[in-house]
Structure 1
């Protein structure tokens, strides 16, 4: 329920901003519509907000009473889209985010690891109203979480397993003047990983499932 509330709040915020941007776009000169063969490059500011859950257990499977906590990260990202038809496109996003991992419990809040993750996401999209100034879209696809540059903290040794996940997406493009547009996008990524702490003395199966919310400017070729 908490995840769904966050998604709805994010989508509501995107809708309000899109209406405001659309009002401004209405006074713009001619614009380039989406159509078959269009390529879109978008520069965005993106917040990666994990919705993590994961009990930390001993190697024997005994619950330690601790859970995994992962902080949010806001970073620049790039998106690349290609339109196979006026309505159907494929998008890939590139970016990397840095996260602090903690072990938390009733009387514990300790940093155990700091790491970067490269999470490329590829989605197949359907664009509504591609010839209009305000054109929403939905999509679904896959992602790959590649952890790198890890730094252990406070005497802990942490290893995270890279792997595949899935993603769903909703967003809107608001045409500005000429080939420029304003883009708002939110993705929900479903991904879990295995964490090994202190060479397996402690382990955790972590559901990260981040919300990836973005806003930026796009150029249509």
Structure 2
């Protein structure tokens, strides 16, 4: 056998051995680490807020004295600053329901042709249920809009200024809302919120001697802290 034939035989042997080794390696299980599954961030539907609330009534009155209209008769309802708590439940990332809880004290006195008359005082419990839309594509800034219904309970009513009886009737009203949360981290944030309630209860003074309706329609301006579970 010539030297050229020997070299060709060795080359063919090496090629065959390489092919067998590759085929055997293909049958072995891979030691390459499988890609990790994506880690899902937990999401809670609950959120609470605590606010300081500035209540500013926008009052008008339609009053009658002994059945006759009180011409120019108006009322003045005091502003109030109170704490407020609300609880929010998210149905989706965007849609939520919010229940707003708080109580506010107010003094009522005459205005217009009734100027100078002290009429009474009362506490208001106005639980309000809002349906909200939250905008979620603005990073930590999370504005929202809401519309809802309010039911105001009047309690601890007291007549003043010589009157012997002062009564406000519990009533339903509508509510509009706009606000935003600015999230500092995953859980904590700052909140600013403005609501408008449309509220017009019936009123009676001295067992109906003076009677009518008072349009309160307060602005509720709040600022506070958000906590997202």
Scaled by the length of structure 1, the TM-score of the pair is 0.80
- How many residues are aligned here? 188
Matched, 1:138 2:162: no
Asked whether the 8 Å contact 1:159–1:197 carries over to 2, the reply is yes
Q: Runs of 4 or more off by more than 4 Å in structure 1?
A: none
Query: What is the distance in 2 between the residues matched to 1:82 and 1:107?
Result: 46
Scaled by the length of structure 2, the TM-score of the pair is 0.78
Query: What is the distance in 2 between the residues matched to 1:52 and 1:104?
Result: 11
Deviation string, structure 1 residues 11-61 (Cα, Å, up to 9, x no partner): xxxxxxxxxxxxxxxxxxxxxx9x964211101000111111003321323
Query: What is the distance in 1 between the residues matched to 2:114 and 2:227?
Result: 50
Match of 1:113 among 92, 95, 120: 120
Matched, 1:71 2:40: no
Matched, 1:148 2:185: no
3-state SS in 2 of match to 1:199: coil
Deviation string, structure 1 residues 69-95 (Cα, Å, up to 9, x no partner): 111100000010010000000000110
Matched, 1:182 2:190: yes
Q: Which runs of 5+ in 1 are unaligned?
A: 1-32
RMSD: 1.8
- Indicate the residue corresponding to 2:169 in structure 1: 161
Asked whether the 8 Å contact 1:54–1:206 carries over to 2, the reply is yes
Matched, 1:205 2:213: yes
Give the Å deviation of 1:179: 0.5
Change (3 A) 1:107 1:164: closer
Q: Which has the greater radius of gyration?
A: 2
- Indicate the residue corresponding to 2:60 in structure 1: 53
